[in-house]
Structures are given as structure tokens and as C-alpha cells.
Amino acid sequence: MKCRNCIVFDPCKFDSRCVCFNETSRSFINVSCVGKNITKVPRFPSTVYSIDISNNKIRKIPNGTFENQINLRKLDLTSNCIKILETDSFKGLSNLSELVLEKNCINFYKVPAGVFTPLTSLQHLNCKYTELNSFNLPGRLVSKLRHLEYLEVDVIKSSLDEILFDENFAELVNLTKLKTGFCSVIDFNEETFFNMKYLTAIDLSSCFSQKYDRSLYGRNHLTSLALGEFMPPQTASLLNLIIDVKTFSSLENLVLTGSFKRNVEFNGLILRLFNNLKIGTKIKELRLNNNFIREILPPEATLILPRTLQILDLSYNKLTCLCMDIYNLLILNLQNNLIGNCLPHFYCAQIKNLPLVKYDLSFNVIHKLSNMTFAGHKNLRILNLSNNLLSDIDFDLSYNPKLKILDLSNNNITIISNKQVLTTLTKMMGQSAFIIDLSNNVLSCNCRTVGFLEWIVNNLDHFRNNDVYKCKLDNKTIINMHNFRTIVRQLAKDCNSYSIIVIGVTLGIVVFLITLCVGLMYRYRWKLRYMYYMTKSKYYRNKPDDDNESYTYNAFISYSDMEKDFVFKECIPILEDADEMKLCIHHRDFIPGEEISVNITNAIHESKKTICIITRSFLDSYYCMFEFNMARMESIYSRNEQNILFLVFYEQIQPRKLPLVMLELVQNQSYIEYPHNEEGNVVFWEKVREAIA
């Protein structure tokens, strides 16, 4: 398959040390001979469009070296330590537009005056960072370059009276861009750029310890300015710039990278700079990075940015809090500050549908974000929160439907636990090429987080650098997730097995506890029933005074319906009518409408004794056995274990047919048999009277 737009590099036929390639539709070729230890410039054909012969060992450019290079447009001779240039070194390069002589050993004061004269079309000359940088580039060498637009040069001031750019530079009427290379301890005053009246872009960012002394005042056509580090007192240079900036009516780009690194107090100068930029410029890009700015305004105040500003870089400062109205800002870089403690507490009210596209908050010691931190940023596409202290994502991302890249690398995130956030992220992944980076966070790998890990697996293509993710197991071991899918799949399998074990053990424990409870309830069933009915009955009847041993009845007679005649024809006449005792008979004394169990409990509790008429029908009767057991509980829990039961065996019953608790009472002699004859009846009733009395 042919590549229609690919660049193919082939060894050059005229010199095998070089490679040739064609990246245009024209027949001209580009030549690269970089780093081949070449000591002499090769002979190139006339069809060459550009030559890169940097990083070699060429010391001299003889006359006529490029004499036939009529089509050459760019010549790069960087890093060759060229020392000798002759008058006709560049003869034949009438169409050359860019010449790079950076990092060589040229003493420009020994170069012939007409060396650059053949370069009649030259637009860009780069001769900065020469080793012999004790001399400035003489204006006489470049004064004939009438088409020169861009000059890169070292700036050295050897005496106080020396003018950096002499009157010869005034001939360069098309020179609009100036960039310095080596530059140190320079006082840029009103004479510095006097002969460069047409400059629109000045880059002095490489200048170390410079002094800005109103050197550009009134330059209303200046569009771009970059300054380096100011010399002490830094506030003096900054104040001069703030005053002058109001006169830069065309200024669009201002770069003050590392201009005031020292720990000094600016006393509101940064705020004043912002205000002056609003008044007199068309500022679009402002870079104040790598300085020592701690505060522009108090946290509760709002910084009003210039309406024209689109790019703001405040990275690598000491800002602790900043609230701003960003209007038309597209890129905001706050990387490497200290605003992490401010963000959860100060929410800057924002208008809806802000244009901000890229927002960098990395390296800010952020441990938590307000839910509304990114509200209003509907056009946000890149959000960088890397290298902070976030442990989870609990801020609302639904305000950012156009988000494409979310960088959360190098935080403390172990899991994204917020279900709403997961739903929002899933929606973003489904609707666009959304990318999230969780690299260098040690995720938690256990059965509690397996759902989150499976969510990552299901959307793995949206996770950048997922092959270097790390995970911590429950035993504190940290593993590399080189094969994320396989590891999570195995973890889910292990967790399923573990879940089955946990469920089985849990069910076993539940069954055991239920069995235990049922067993205890069965063992103490009569006690529980007794306590229940006693508690219930106290709301319906008055409790007798046990201390005075006063009972409503002498005895409660418990019997089955089969022995009703015996009770009414013998017990009542003999014990009540003759002996004036008071018996409780359920057919006669139970309260109508009351629960039978409550009646039974009250009757036992209000009777001094309970007499059970034991027959086979008694043993078969639920309520008769209920009365027997309630009386037994009364003895144990209400009468201090005093026996109140008196068993009357009205029929002959074999011991093996008796309940164990009843058999125990029989063995303790707490019973009497009914004789069924007149002689025995006399003794029988005497015993009953004694038991009741």
C-alpha cells in the first residue's frame, strides 16, 4: 500500500553521508547531514531547497562554497564551531530566506564587511550563542539586508557608553522581530532600541539580571514582548513596565517568565499590571509563570481580567487563593501553586457557558474540590488535576459535557465511589473520545472495589496508560496491572468464590442462632408463657399482697370436663359448704369474655394452692396441662420455690405414661390417690384439708 503523503528519506547520490527527502510537490530536495563529523561543506546540486548540516566539525566556509545554490531557501550550520567566514562565503545564495549560525565560534568583528551582502532575500538570521560572545553583532554586517525581518543575536554591553544596536540597524526597515541569545546584566534604556523603530515582537527572555528602564515607552505598534529576570531592585523594573504598558496599544502577548523570582513584596503591583493591561492594550496572552507571586487579591475578592485575554499562565508561583472572572479566557494554567486549601471553601460565582477550553490545576496540593468547582465550564475540553492529593472524585462533572481529557494521575485515588460521577463518566465515554488518566494512583484491589475495577475494564480504551496502573491488595502488596483485564477477571472470580463461602458461613451462623433461640425458647417455654400472662394480667386484676399471704381462694381446682361431677358433687360440698373454704372452679369463677389463659394464670396466682385432678383425660387435655405447668412456674418464680401443687390421682395411671415433670412431683410425695370407698374417703378429705390449710 503506497503512502501518498509520507516523507521518504534516501541516501543522497552526491554524498552518502547525507539523506535526501522531498516534502513538497516541487522537484526540489531537502538535505540532512546532521552529526556526521563532516569537516568540509559537501558540494550540493542546484536543486537543493534546504540544507541542515548542523552538529558537525566545519571550521571554515570558503569563498564560493554555495555559489550554485540558486534555489536554496534555508541553511542550518548550528553547532559547528565555525571560525572563519570569507567575503564570498555565501555568494550565490540570493534566494536564501533563513540562515542559522547558532552555537559557532565566529568573531563578528573580524568578519569581512560584505559577508552577508549576497543574501539579498534573507528574512531570518540566527547568530546567537556564539562562543566568542564578548562582542555584539556589528550593524555594518547586516545593514544591507533590507528584507531582514527576524534577527536572533547575543547582546553584550562592554562599556556604559556603548549603544547595543548602532545606527546601522536603522537601515533594517523590515526588521520586526528580535530575540536575544546570550544576554546578561543589561540596562535596557530609552536608547537601546532607538535604531529599531519597527520592532513589533521583542523576546528578551534569555536575559539574566536585566533592568527595564522605560526603553519601550510609546511603542504603540508592539504586539509581543518577553522579558527575563529583572536585576534588583526588581520592583523598580516591574513598576517601569507597568507604567509603559499602557502605551502599548497593540500589545497582544506579554511574557514575564521568571522575571521576579526573588522573595519580595509587590505591594499590589501585579493587580496594577492587570488593570493597566485592561486600559491600554489588546492583550491576548499573558504569562507570569515562575515568579514569586503569593497574592493578587484577597480570597474573597474577584480579579477582573481584560476582556481580550485568552491565555493566562500563572504557573509555578506561590498563589494560595485566586478568584477571577475569566470572560473570554480559553486557557488557564495554575500549575504548581498552593491553592489546594482554598478551592473547597471559596467558590467563585461564574456565568454560564464560559469559553474556557483548557484548565491546569496540577501540583496544587488539592485534597478536595467543591461540588460546584467546575460549574459553568460547558466548553472545557482538557482538565489537568494531576499530582495532587485527591483520594476520590466527588465533584460534579456533569457541568462539563465537552470534556475530552481528564488527567488525575499521581494522586491518592483508590476508588471512584460516587455513583453519580461514574454515571457521568460512562456517559462521556459513550458519546465522545473521552480520555481519563489514573496512572500512578495505587488503586484498591479487593472484593469491595471489584465493581469499580470491572467498570474500568468495560471502558479500558478510555483509560490512558492503563498498562502502568498499580493496585494494592488487602495484604498491602502492590502489584503492577500490566494486564488489567486478566487481573480484574481473576479478582472477580476469587471474590465470587469468597462470596459463596461468606454466604454459606453466614447462613450457618444464622441457622445456628435460630436453632439456639428456638431451643432456649422451648426449654423455657413455660417460664416465658408464665411471665407473659402474668405481665398481661396485672393490667386487669389487682395483685394480692404476698407479704400478708392473703389469697382470694384457698385452692384452684384443675380438672377435665370428665371429672366435672366429682368436683361439683364432692369437692364443693365437702370443702366449701362443710369447711367454709373458697375454691376457684373454672366453670363457675372464670370471668366471662376474658382470655382463658389469662383466667387460668389469675386463678393460680390468686389461689393458695392448686389441686390437679389427674386422670387420663387430664393428661390429654391441652388446658389441663397448661394449668399444671403454670402452677409449677408460679411455685418457682412467684412463691420462692414453695410447692403449691397438690396432685390428686383420680384414676390409676402407670408411671411411664406420666410427663417427667409430673413424675418428679410424684416421687417427692406431693400427691394423693382417691380411694373410691367410704372408709378411705374420710382420710382422703382430711389430707386435702391439711394440704389446703
Q: Which pLDDT belongs to residue 133?
A: 58
Q: How confident is the model at residue 161 (pLDDT cuts 50, 70, 90)?
A: low
Percent residues over pLDDT 90 in the chain: 59
Percent pLDDT > 70 in the chain is 90
- What would the grid cell of residue 163 be? 549603544
> Mean pLDDT, to the nearest integer, of 345-354?
67
**What's the confidence (pLDDT) of residue 27?**
77
More confident: 456 or 549: 456
In 345-449, which ranges are continuous DSSP H helix? Answer: 419-431
95 or 638, which is more confident:
95
Average pLDDT (305-319) is: 95
Q: What is the pLDDT of residue 534?
A: 59
pTM score: 0.71
pLDDT at 206: 93
Q: Residue 265: what pLDDT? A: 63
CA distance 326 to 312: 10
Report the pLDDT value the prediction gives residue 527, as an integer from 0 to 100.
63
CA-to-CA distance for 608 and 584, rounded, in angstroms? 10
Q: What is the pLDDT of residue 546?
A: 44
What does the pLDDT read at residue 223?
97
How many helices (H) and strands (E) the chain has is answered by: 14, 34
pLDDT in tens, 395-439: 999 999 999 999 999 999 999 999 999 999 999 998 778 999 999
Q: Which tens digits make up the pLDDT trace of 450-477?
A: 999 999 999 999 999 998 999 999 888 9
pLDDT of residue 504: 74
Q: Tell me: the pLDDT tens digits for 477-515?
A: 999 888 888 889 888 888 876 656 677 788 888 888 888
HEC string for 265-310: CCCCHHHHHHHHHHHHCCCCEEECCCCCCCCCCCCCCCEECCCCCC
Nearest to 413 by CA among 405, 422, 402: 422
Scored b (16 or more CB within 10 A) or e, 542-565 reads: eeeeeeeeebbbbbbbbbbebbee
Ordered domains of the chain (ranges, CATH)? 1-187 (3.80.10.10), 499-538 (no CATH), 553-692 (3.40.50.10140)
Over range 234-262, report the average pLDDT.
92
State the pLDDT at residue 89: 96
Beta strand 19-21 pairing with 10-11: antiparallel
Write down the mean pLDDT value for the chain: 88
- Between 347 and 218, where is the model more confident? 218
Q: What is the pLDDT of residue 662?
A: 87
| Cβ-count burial 1-29 (b if 16+ within 10 Å, e if not) | eeeeeeeeeeebeebeebbbeeeeeeebb
pLDDT range class, residue 661, cuts 50, 70, 90? confident
Confidence of residue 342 (pLDDT cuts 50, 70, 90): confident
Chain center to CA of 442? 12
pLDDT digits (tens, 9 = 90+) for 18-53: 999 886 666 789 999 999 999 999 999 999 999 999
Q: Residue 219 above 60 pLDDT?
A: yes
Quick: pLDDT tens for 507-541: 888 888 888 888 877 766 666 666 666 565 555 44
Inter-residue contact 185 to 160 (CB < 8 Å): no
Write down the pLDDT at residue 390: 96
